[in-house]
Amino acid sequence: MPSLDRRRFLWGTTALGATAVLAGCTSNESPNAAASNAAVAGGSGENSQPGKAVTIGFSAPAADHGWMAAMTKNARAQAGRFSDVTLKATEGTNDVNQQIGQVETLINDKVDVLVILPFDGKALTEVGRQATEAGIPVVNVDRIFDTPLAYRAWIGGDNYRMGVNAGNYIAGQMKAKNISSPIIGEVAGIDSLPLTQERSQGFKDALARAGFSVGPRVAAQFTPESGEQQTANLLQGASKLDALWNHDDDQGIGVLAAIEGAGRKEFIMVGGAGSRNMMDLIKADSGVVKATVLYSPSMASSAIALARLLGQAKGIGDLAEHEIPALITTYSAVVSKENVDSYLDVGFDS
């Protein structure tokens, strides 16, 4: 299964505290060993100071595409920032049974905290409960377990809001151009997935509030190849477009290839996820890409920072609560030419 979700959470300056380097699987490297394009929680204060040593187990799917590769890279970079953290990262796998076995090994190794991005949230729920019942706090990332009894904290994206913000941006652009009845296309991801359905519903609802509607729509597979094929089909059936939303920037490589192949440039395009590739195109402002809606893999960095605080029995410094929140939903900011420089640090390579 390809990358399914993305987004960003901004912490207060005293909350998590970190800068970036790339960590080894079981130990730390010098904070001066910079990791390119790794997004980590930033700040200073008491929580950023060395404390109790914490061993964090990390498990994620195979890094077989841009977003997922960035999730693992960011987790390693965040762990490498902390002199009091040892990261035990398993080899990424898309085999559910293998991932379960890897997590069981980390449980048997008695790590202090687990950070788990499951290939399939439902399938990994039981091993999450197993860890919790063994007294190991679990930070569940993005693809959520079936029950909160399987995790201590969850951090992930808001797919509905992702669609809403894409729709709001496009609606605003159409009104600014005085286009009263725009033709707005959509290149979705895998239609059978709830996350795709949520993104599309948010997009539809936002456009409806502006008096617009979704026009030609196709569903791809979150891959460049499927994005190119399905976008070619959409363009063949739509002689004119005013705007296009593509759900996924990895997929967007193929979407742009189809647009270029068709020689089309009469519309604006909004991406989804926040790849560095798309941000560079937004900054150049020389083509159809005008914005992307974040679903940033920086959430993996925040998950590691949260795991460290859990292992040290600390809360988030800028919050009144003594404990780490149970649920943290990241926000899908719209990245456009006006603010792209502020988000380059969380862009990932497609």
Q: CA 86: distance to chain centroid?
A: 24
Nearest 5°: phi and psi at 217?
Answer: -140, 135
Residue 37 and residue 347 in contact, taking contact as beta carbons nearer than 8 Å: yes
Q: Give the mean model confidence (pLDDT) for residues 105-128.
A: 97
pLDDT in the model for residue 307: 98
Q: Is the per-residue pLDDT at 114 higher than 90?
A: yes
- Res. 15: pLDDT tops 80: no
Q: What is the pLDDT of residues 180-191, one digit of tens each?
A: 999 999 999 999
* Helices 224-237 + 249-262 axis angle, to 10: 40
pLDDT number for residue 44? 58
pLDDT for position 115 = 98
Q: What band does 233 get if pLDDT is binned at 50, 70 and 90? A: very high
pLDDT digits (tens, 9 = 90+) for 312-338: 999 998 889 999 999 999 999 999 999
Q: Would you state the structure tokens that stand for residue 333, as one six-digit string?
A: 């900011």
Taking Cα atoms as reference points, which of 326, 344, 332, 319 lies closest to residue 11?
A: 319
pLDDT grade, residue 350 (50/70/90)?
confident
At residue 239, does pLDDT exceed 90? yes
Query: What is residue 97's predicted lDDT score, i.e. its pLDDT?
Result: 97
pLDDT at 201 over 60: yes
Percentage of residues in the chain having pLDDT higher than 90: 82
Residue 42 pLDDT: 58
Q: What is the pLDDT of residue 317?
A: 85
- List the single range of 26-30, 129-133, 321-325 with lowest mean pLDDT: 26-30
How far, rounded to the nearest angstrom, does the alpha carbon of residue 330 sit from its chain's CA centroid?
Answer: 9
Other C-beta atoms closer than 10 Å to the C-beta of 30 total 9
pLDDT reported for residue 47:
81
How many Å apart are CA 50 and CA 30, to the nearest integer?
14
Q: Looking at the predicted structure, is the pLDDT value of residue 26 above 60?
A: no
Pair of tokens at residue 82: 């902390």
Looking at residue 3, its pLDDT comes to 34
Whether residue 13 is predicted with pLDDT greater than 50 in this model: the reply is no
pLDDT value, residue 37 = 62
Residue 8's pLDDT is: 28
Give 38-92 pLDDT, tens digit per residue. Answer: 777 755 577 878 899 999 999 999 988 899 999 999 999 999 999 999 999 999 9
**pLDDT of 23 strictly over 70:** no
Pairing of strands 138-141, 327-329: unpaired
- Computed over every residue of the chain, the mean pLDDT equals 89
Is the model's pLDDT at 12 over the cut of 90?
no
pLDDT band of 5, cuts 50, 70, 90: very low
